[in-house]
Amino acid sequence: MPAPSLPSGNPAAAVVSPSGYAIEFDKVAIAFDENVVLDGVSFQLPHGETKALFGVAGSGKSTLLKLAMGLLRPDSGRIFVLGEEVTRMSEQELFQLRRRVGIVFQEGALFDSLKVYENVAFRLMEERISAAEVERRVREVLRFVELEETYDMFPSELSGGMRRRVAIARAIVTEPEVLLYDSPTGGLDPVTSNTIVELIVKQRDVYKTSALMVTHRLQDAFTMATHQFDKATNQMVVLPKGRHCDVPMSFLILRDGKVIFDGDGHELATSRDEYIREYIS
């Protein structure tokens, strides 16, 4: 399926933060009552890299994203996003940082009382950008996700896949420096899932934004690792054997609240860990 046409906006260049990483977790732990969800999790997401995060249901994948956004506070450990220590920031300071980070929630989390246009424009309107500029950017980003015709519709009038694409449009409209995806293909049929993955690949290769993607579908991450967006044909194409994607792609696996794997596709495929072999088989 050909991908939607390219936006005319300038892709945001990856900004290098003082810490050298877009996201860094340092021995982060969190528990809900007696249930330990993350136990000393440490990893780094370098600038411009896309990291796919796996784990069984309840392994703390979504919690990890919420921690990165400062929506939850860890019990211990430190989290850095774009060089700023999230764990030491007040809620008011976090509001400023969050404007530089985009997130796509599991079910989209669109504001159901607002139209698609208002949902996508939410951040822009908060920044008091002129109405004409807001409309131009919203239309551009809706064209990017191939949903310009939904401009005046309410989220309840859209299918699950369309809602997810609008959520991606809302996350990228401000050209964030980091993108967080929480199971963007969860609960979708294979065809729609593929459309979403293609959109994420396009976003990755066009904007080169650092991204952390939680998924339970291994095939999505492998598709991302083995495909690249071709600007000439405006489509996602398979990479020739032995050639790596321009944008680095890595994998991270969580088990029992700990990181059991953090490496690239080759390391994952050649891992001798029994659990990992079973997981990827």
Partner 1 sequence: MAFELELISPVEVAKGYVLAIQEYTLLSAQSLANFFRHPLYMGDMLQQADLIGVGSLPIVVLTGLSVGALLALNAASTLERFGSVTLIGQLVSLGMVTELGPLITGLMVAGRNASGMASELGSMVVTEQIDAMRALGTDPTKKLVTPRVGATAFMLFFLTIIADLLGEIGGYGVAHLLFGVDTNQYWTSVWQVLVFRDVFTGLIKPVLFGFIISTVGCYYGMSTRGGTQGVGRSTTQAVVAASVLILITDFFVTKLIFAIFGYR
**Chain contacts with partner 1 (rule: CB under 8 A):** 66, 69, 71, 91-92, 94-96, 98-99, 101, 103, 105-107, 109-112, 122-123, 126, 170
Q: Three-class SS string for the chain?
A: CCCCCCCCCCCCCCCCCCCCEEEEEEEEEEEECCEEEEEEEEEEEECCCEEEEECCCCCCHHHHHHHHHCCCCCCEEEEEECCEEHHHCCHHHHHHHHCCEEEEECCECCCCCCCHHHHHHHHHHHCCCCHHHHHHHHHHHHHHCCCHHHCCCCHHHCCHHHHHHHHHHHHHCCCCCEEEEECCCCCCCHHHHHHHHHHHHHHHHHHCCEEEEECCCHHHHHHHHHEEEECCCCEEEECCCCCCCCCCEEEEEEECCEEEEEEEHHHHHCCCCHHHHHHHC
Amino acid in the structure at residue 66: K
User: Which residue has tokens 């896309």?
Assistant: 50
* Cβ nearer to partner 1, comparing 98 with 139: 98
Tokens 């980003």 correspond to 141
Residue 218 CB, shortest distance to partner 1, in Å, is 25
Distance between CA atoms of residues 202 and 185, nearest Å: 15
Q: How far is the CB of 103 from partner 1 (least distance, A)?
A: 5
Cβ closest to partner 1, residue 96 vs residue 159: 96
C-beta of 45 vs 68, nearer to partner 1: 68
Locus of tokens 């950008």: 129
**How many CB atoms within 10 Å of residue 242?**
5
CB of 275 to partner 1, least distance (A): 30
Instruction: Tell me the closest approach of the beta carbon of residue 93 to partner 1, in angstroms.
Output: 11
Q: How far is the CB of 69 from partner 1 (least distance, A)?
A: 5
User: Residue 229 Cβ, how far from partner 1 at the closest point, in Å?
Assistant: 26
As measured in angstroms, the least distance from the Cβ of 123 to partner 1 is 5
For partner 1, give the closer residue by CB, 109 or 218.
109
Instruction: Closer to partner 1 by CB, 209 or 271: give it.
Output: 209
CB nearer to partner 1: pick between 214 and 276: 214
Q: What's the CA gap between 9 and 140, in Å, rounded?
A: 8
Closest CB 133 distance from partner 1, rounded Å: 18
Q: Which is nearer to partner 1, 45 or 167 (CB)?
A: 167
Q: Which is nearer to partner 1, 69 or 196 (CB)?
A: 69
